[in-house]
Amino acid sequence: MVVLVNGGSASASEIVAGALQDHKRAVIMGQPTFGKGSVQTILPLANNTAIKLTTARYYTPNGRSIQAKGIIPDIPLDDGAGDRAAGLKVREADLTKHLTDNAKDLKEEDRAKAAAAAAQQYNFTPAPRPKDIDEKLTRPQPGEIVSEHDYELSQAIAFLKSRGGNIQIAN
């Protein structure tokens, strides 16, 4: 099984991806997730005010906190954004007053090393993302569920086929 994630994967989807990863039930592909590892509860007070309390923290089954770190994919995929969108990628760690863990936060280069080591374990190198695909081609055609030019999906299928899987996609 392959689970595709990116910076928009947050909260419950991170817990599911992390649990599947911890139990080695799926290979996680894509980009690091958002890092939403806490639950806040808003309690109304008097005079139209409220207080926001952190009431829970999310951990994977192996005890990894995802707060401000997210889930690191086993196989990283190029998100196609390059430098043009580097400032637009917002993660939990970028938010002011985000919760921190006592554990050392992973730096970007540490994330890249961890992802590269994990990818070697699977002996799979994703194909480079095509650079000159018309954006209209990446949208599903009427009646399709996904576009035939969906890079992430095509890499997930290539990975499964490299494992001898008989893959069939049905709309």
Structure tokens at 31: 């980009």
Query: Tokens in use for 87?
Result: 């400032």
Which pLDDT score, from 0 to 100, does residue 103 have? 47
Active site residue 11: yes
Q: How many whole angstroms separate alpha carbon 58 and alpha carbon 147?
A: 34
SS3 of residue 95 by DSSP: coil
Whether 68 and 102 have beta carbons less than 8 Å apart is answered as no
Q: What is the pLDDT of residues 60-104, one digit of tens each?
A: 999 998 888 899 999 999 877 665 555 556 766 666 656 666 544
Contact 105, 52 (CB under 8 A): no
3-class state of residue 53 by DSSP: strand
On the question of pLDDT at 57 being above 80, the answer is yes
> Active-site residue among 36, 65, 74, 150?
36
Residue of 9, 13, 22, 162 marked active site: 22
Question: Against a cut of 0.85, is the pTM above it?
Answer: no
Q: State the chain's mean pLDDT as an integer.
A: 81
Q: Where are the domains of the chain?
A: 2-129
